[in-house]
Structure formats: structure tokens, C-alpha cells
Amino acid sequence: MAFKIIETASALPANIVTNDDLTAIMETSNEWIESRTGILERRISETENTSDLCLRVAQTLLDKSGIAVSQIKAIIVATMTPDYYTPSTAAIVQGRLGADQAFAFDISAACSGFTYALSAARGYVQTPDDYVLVIGGEVISKMLDWSDRSTAVLFGDGAAGVLLQGTTADQESWVSEKLITIGTESDQLVSGYAPVKRPNFGQVGQTQVGIDFFKMTGKAIYQFSTRRVPKAIEAAVLEAGLTLDQIDHFLVHQANSRLITKMASMLDQPLTKFPMNLQHYGNTSAASIPLLLAEQVETNQIKRGDLCVLCGFGGGLTIGIQIIRY
């Protein structure tokens, strides 16, 4: 079950919404948002849904790699903003891509989703003929209450992913992983709650499904992110038989620049090891880590052989850590 990452790709909506743009619809300012989050702008989809963005990523991965669509064994999409309850977003991508030899499914682990999806993908890359698409994609804007500046200013839409190929142990990308779920605190970050509001037996032409906006307890999430996540990263690195100093890049979920800066300090690592692009894209949840990875690879900041920690954290509550050698 060894894999190597052979390609990375991303897809973003064309529509850029700046902090100043948000002042037209809510009481906020560029200074208020930037000073608290580091975010300057984000991409907001006007017409594309999550499957549309993920399809663009899948097509780019195939185009860049030269791999035929018939060679794809599996498609895994990490998302908390699917097009539908069912079918899965991955199934929609599989159908539109024409990947009729591939099975497909979604993973819902919020901002840790991509790291959880990589964990699942390891089980499907057993030979050099096995190719798996792993994509994180979100259109979070459709789940936001745009009158709530405590959440609406934080998020953006986008998708990104990787193409994995099975390989031998001496060439593989995967080094180690650590996945954590804290379900006792699941109510701290929720999205899309569909309550049973009334019995609908015999209620012809009616539905009882009502979707709630994204909500989170900001202070609790910040404390979780700054207290538990650095400890989890340190434990994962030590369990892999490595030291923090040996890690070339920490690609952590792009939630908040202050949070990432504090995380670097707590791990006693230089901030230069913690690349950020949230200033341009905001928090893109499951797309956050692969979007950063694709950008760092594209700009040659991450090179073959570099040792990277990929760390997602968020709803569940969840922490997902993958240690890879790119």
C-alpha cells in the first residue's frame, strides 16, 4: 500500500471578493478582517457547484499526467459542501469525467477531509497500475449566513487535489499519519443541520428537510486549534521516528494567519516553514491543504524529496496529519 504523488492541481472560481467588497453587505472593514485573520480576499462561486470545481481539478490532473481516464481506479472527494446528500460529489465527477472503471465516494471530515481522504486512498494503490484521484473541494459560500461577519468573512470557495500512483516502498510519498476525532465536541462547528421538524408520514408533496447555515463557536475552535493541534503534530512527527527540525514544510490548514503564527511558535519552528495563501483564498476547508500544496509545487517551493507535514483540523472535531516525502 505504497503511493507517490505524481501530480497536483487546483481550480478556483473566477469571482474575487475583497474585504472592501464585503463592507457593502455587512458591518465590517478591511482592517478588521485583515488584523484578525490575515485574509485580504477570497474566491466566491457564482455558478459552479462543488462537483464542477472538482471536475476541473480531475481533468487538469489527467491532462498534466498523461494518464488515460480509463486507468483511474478510484476517485475520492473530501467535502462538507456536496452538491447533494446523494449521489456523492465523487460519483458526479466520475460520471462527467467518463471514468467508468473507477469507483467513487466522498469523505466528510470538514477541514481535515483531505488528510482523511489520503488515508483512505492508501488502501487502493497496491500496484504501479493503480491510480487514484484525491480531491478536496468546497463551495462554502452557499452555506454561509452573509449577515454574520464572525463566519462569513472567513471562507472562500475552491478545489484542489492530487493524482496518486501505486509504487514500491523505496519510492513512496507516504511516511506516517495520525488521525484524531473528538466527537464529544462535535457541536462546536456545524453546517447543514437537517432536523426532524415534524412527522411527514402522509404529507404529500412536502419535505421536512431544512438546511441550517454554517455555525461555529469561534473561541472554542481557536483554543482547540492552538492547544491540541500543535501537540498532535509533535506527536505524529515523533511517532514517525523524526524530529520537527527534519520537516521541510508544514502545510497546515489555512484558517487564520494568527493561528498559524502561534502554531509555529509553539512548535519552535521558523514561520518560513509554514507557507500561507489564505490572504488570497480565505479558509477553503477541505480544499485548503491541497490548494496550498499545488501552489507550492507549482512555484517550486516544494521539491521532490522534501519532507512535508500536511495537517488539517476542524469540524468533528477532527485532526488529520499526513507526513509525506514529496
The residues that are catalytic are 111, 253, 283
d(CA 217, CA 72): 40
DSSP letters, 246-310, are G-SEEEE--S-HHHHHHHHHHTT--GGGS---HHHH-B-GGGHHHHHHHHHHHTTSS-TT-EEEE
Asked if 54 contacts 148 with a C-beta cutoff of 8 angstroms, the reply is no
Among 141, 142, 136, residue whose Cα is nearest residue 159: 136
Separation of alpha carbons 25 and 34, rounded Å: 17
Cell of residue 139, nine digits: 463551495
Within 79-173, strands assigned E span 103-107, 131-138, 158-166
CA distance 288 to 114: 8
Cβ distance 150 to 33 under 8 Å? no
Q: Which of 135, 133, 139 has its CA nearest to residue 82? A: 139
| Residue 228 φ/ψ, nearest 5 degrees | -85, -35
Extended strands (E) in 21-89: 41-43, 72-78
Kindly report the number of other CB atoms within 10 A of residue 47's CB atom: 8
